[in-house]
Chains A and B, each alone.
Chain A
Amino acid sequence: MVCAISLCKGLWKYRGGPQLFWMLVILASLAFPHAADAVVSGTPAPRPTAATEQCANESCHAKLLNRKVTHESVAQLKCLDCHEYASIGEHLFKRLNAPGQGCISCHKKVLPKPDEALSIHAAAKDNCVACHDPHGSNARYELKQTVPDLCLSCHKNIKDSLASSSLVHGAMKPDGSCSGCHVAHFSKLSKLQKEPQPQQCLNCHDRPVQTAGGRTLTNMAELLKDNPEHHGPIRLGACTACHQPHAGNQPLLLSAAYPPEFYAPFEMDRYRLCFTCHTPDLVLQPGPTAPTGFTDGKKNLHWLHVDQTKGRTCRACHEVHASRQAFHIRDSVPFGDGGWSIAIKFTQTPTGGTCAAACHVERSYDHGVRPHSIPFVALLPKAQALVTAQQPMLSPTTAPVEGGKAVSYAVPSPPFTPGVFPCTGCHDPSVAVNTQRRVLQKPHVDIQLHHDEEHRWCLDCHNAQNRDVLRSASGEPIPFSESYRLCGQCHGLQFRDWKVGVHGKRTGEWDGRKEYLLCVNCHNPHSPKFKALTPLPPPIRPNVEK
């Protein structure tokens, strides 16, 4: 005590000391709020030894009770539900933090069971107090701030985009906005989404919506209902592939450039949006090997359509959301200023199609039997991943026995057409099997059997009882991932060579991990002969005269 007094004295005498002195006094009083009692009374005040109404008396923690929303335990003054004494004598408390003791001991449903959720809010995992005030607050759910301010205090990128964008999604504007589409703690969907798209979006867009700019947005629910041919992202539940969910600078909150006018000449930069998913070669490559089914075997007909100045481009033929015709081809095109429209009639055939009496006279194309390696609609890897993610993956198979010892190699999944597997999704086992030879109907119009077709038929290889597997000649079921066993029944020499790596392609390490391909990764099982390729350019002849 003597020491302290002499210290104070010294401090006071020091130049500028009085200010410093008072500052220290204030700091000390903040740090030890009960010290003043001791100074005033001269004897230490009795410390509360149990959580009672004492905690909430006027001079101590009363303000915890004066909020709009108060935590149940606080209201009932059950302080020890969450706190425990660290040192009774010094009135020091600590939070109950051990596993199962904190918030989660009562709020059991806040976190998902294992494998129940695809996305968990990072803050919800271990830091409830990042969003909630544990005693109470003036916002609902004892949140520290109101939504969306609370969310935006962490999600700065969205805050920035809201500030810098010319268009803000209407769903962001009313109070409590974020929680319109997102849940707070965990979700079975990615990014804490409440419902899968497009259902989530259709909750609002099931009626004409007026935008702030005075534009009326289409009743999308009705449009999708009336037009069964949906654009891929809608089928895959990814409205956000094209539209920004929060804010953006492009009209209609599109995520990249797409011209608002109907006839706009084709330039990559104008149609960036389409090429966030589609390979540009779909349009730009003039030859028949372009990754599209819209070819007559000589030219890429996409290229033919856009390669002129008038501006017949993506949207001139395709409806962006949905239509009644195959490949979501639009029903009509606008003509002139008088509000006229001319109908397009597209008829799909097994190996091509016919487009009649709209922009041009009736024209047909036939792409023939397509090489298996050229996709009908080429997608960039990211979009392809989205498509693949929707397909149930077949597990990698273990197989060939090499040199007497069992060696397992991972082979890739069979190259199914997107959305086609599992086959039992359409082929109901209870429905009688049609064993007639016939030209196949949709969705199998692309299958043309050129595989010993005189002697073979679908059900020689496909299992009629369970379409999700194949069958061997003896009727044994063979999974699609082990189709080489089926092929090997007839092609024994190739099978033998394949097992030792002499037939077919191997990649990877010559002395380590090798990747095999299934027979069907290179050969279309329905038409297995290799298709002709365009050779890369020949070497330049040496010019001896120069």
Chain B
Amino acid sequence: MSHERPSADVVKAPCGGGGRGNEPAGLSRRDMLKYTAACAVSAFLAGCSGPEREAFFQKRFKELSPDEVKRVLARLEKQHSEEIGKPVTVGAAPALEGVLYGYGLDLSRCVGCRRCVYACVGENNQSRDPQIHWIKVLSMQKEDGVDIMKSDAYYNPEQVPEEDKFYMPVACQQCRNPPCVKACPVKATWQEPDGIVVIDYNWCVGCRCCMAACPYGARHFNWTTPNVPKDQINPHMHYLGNRPRQRGVVEKCTFCIQRVREKNGRYPACVEICPVGARKFGNLLDKNSEISHILRDKRVFILKEELSTEPKFFYFYAT
């Protein structure tokens, strides 16, 4: 688009400000558009350095060969290190064998302090301004029970918990039957073998169909280039997780894929920060994991069960 506007001025200039139909005989509107498009493409290709061109022609992540993945990661590491001014690592650790992640959240413990929201922002390099929060903490009236229509995400009392309220943090529910994946027209988002729904930011076209499809409001769109202070960037990155996003792509919670897929796997950042221990995380296939104990022994529910999204995010009441 930016190429077109100056060219139009150039066309207009020789004809002395004449109106429609006053075009000089040698240059029709169609020709002009053709030249402009050709110029734009050639300027783009000429102006692009190697890495940019490579990024432009990169295949879908799932179709890359191991060698190509290595090259892509090296390119990203170099690019981000230069941008940020400190060394970063961009990994692409695959899903671990025999692991299906599940998440538990104890509604009888959560005090709504929002520590998890900001731990997540820091860990996953979310944009600070405009603000993107992957976790939304809803405050609800005790007398109404879980009623999202009556919830408030913007509560701001001096102290929490408030007497008559309880709190329900909502982030991506990591559905087993994810409507967002079905909605994506370019297959830029999919469910990994360990159950994490991920996005290839290099393939996302920013149509936001997935956002419309998600019943939990868990997907967020980068309207501008994400704005993260350089000194606050988490340099430990994953290709499908917290690496810096471009403008015009969708992002979402990945259960801190860069942490949980490490050897032995660290807990996600929100689990580690929670001051009351309300957040539980583990392998659903391991019968001794915390999450398995919760599913066996506690009263558990899932959000919007009637939609058959089959979340792997379980709310429970420990006592």
Contacts and interface: CB of A to CB of B under 8 A. Distances in A.
Interface of A: 373, 402-403, 493-494, 497, 500-513, 522, 530, 532-541
Contact of A508 (B131, B266, B275, B293): B266
A535 B319 contact: no
How many chain B residues sit at the interface, stated as a range, is: 35 or more
B113 A510 contact: no
8 contacts: A507-B271, A509-B266, A510-B282, A511-B264, A535-B112, A535-B156, A536-B115, A539-B117
A477 to B, nearest CB: 28
B118 interface: yes
B311 to A, nearest CB: 19
B2 to A, nearest CB: 24
Contacts of A509: 262, 264-267
Nearest to B298: A502
A505 to B, nearest CB: 3
Contacts of A501: 280, 290, 293
A203 B156 CA distance: 58
The DSSP consensus for interface residues of chain A is loop
A534 B161 CA distance: 9
B270 to A, nearest CB: 12
Contact of B131 (A493, A530, A532, A540): A540
Contacts of B282: 510
Nearest 10 A/B pairs, CB to CB? A512-B264, A505-B277, A532-B159, A536-B114, A501-B290, A509-B264, A538-B154, A533-B113, A403-B288, A504-B277
The DSSP consensus for interface residues of chain B is loop
Contacts of A539: 117, 131, 133, 136, 153-154
B272 interface: yes
A513 B118 CA distance: 25
Given A497-B318, A502-B298, A536 B277 contact: no
A505 B274 contact: yes
B36 interface: no
Contacts of B276: 505, 522, 530
Contact of A494 (B275, B286, B298, B319): B319
B161 A510 contact: no
Contacts, number: 108
Nearest to B293: A500
Contact of B260 (A494, A510, A538, A541): A510
B298 A535 contact: no
B42 interface: no
B289 interface: yes
A517 to B, nearest CB: 8
Q: Tell which of A507, A510, A539, A541 has the most Cβ of chain B within 10 Å.
A: A510
Given A510-B266, A538-B153, 8 more contacts: A502-B290, A505-B276, A507-B271, A508-B266, A510-B264, A510-B282, A511-B264, A535-B156
B199 to A, nearest CB: 21
Contact of A500 (B161, B272, B277, B290): B290
Nearest to B159: A532
B118 A536 contact: yes
A400 B154 CA distance: 40
Given A510-B282, A511-B283, A533 B265 contact: no
B277 A503 contact: yes
B283 to A, nearest CB: 7
Given A403-B288, A500-B290, A505-B274, A533 B160 contact: yes
A534 B112 CA distance: 9
Nearest to B114: A536
Contact of B283 (A500, A502, A510, A536): A510
Contacts of A403: 288
A541 B266 contact: no
B117 to A, nearest CB: 7
Interface in B150-184: 153-161
A538 B158 CA distance: 12
B218 interface: no
B201 interface: no
Interface string B37-67: 0000000000000000000000000000000
A502 B158 CA distance: 29
Contacts of A530: 111, 276
A503 B316 CA distance: 12
Given A536-B115, A541-B154, A506 B319 contact: no
Contacts of B160: 532-535
Contacts of A510: 260, 264-267, 281-283, 289
A538 B111 CA distance: 14
Contacts of B286: 511
Q: Tell which of B131, B276, B293, B294 has the most Cβ of chain A within 10 Å.
A: B293
A511 B265 contact: yes
A502 B111 contact: no
A533 B153 contact: no
Contacts of A504: 277
Contacts of B159: 532-535
B220 to A, nearest CB: 11
Given A503-B318, A506-B267, A510-B260, A534 B153 contact: no
Contacts of A522: 275-277
A493 B157 CA distance: 32
Contacts of A532: 111, 159-161
Contacts of B319: 493-494
Nearest to B156: A538
A502 B288 CA distance: 11
A54 to B, nearest CB: 67
A197 B131 CA distance: 52
Nearest to B118: A536
Nearest to A541: B154
Contacts of B263: 512
Contacts of B113: 533-536
A460 to B, nearest CB: 23
Contacts of A537: 114, 156
Contact of B114 (A494, A505, A538, A540): A538
A279 B124 CA distance: 28
A535 B159 CA distance: 6
Contacts of A507: 267, 271-272
Nearest to B161: A532
Interface in B271-319: 271-272, 274-277, 280-283, 286, 288-290, 293-294, 297-298, 318-319
A504 B159 CA distance: 21
Contacts of A506: 267, 271, 277, 290
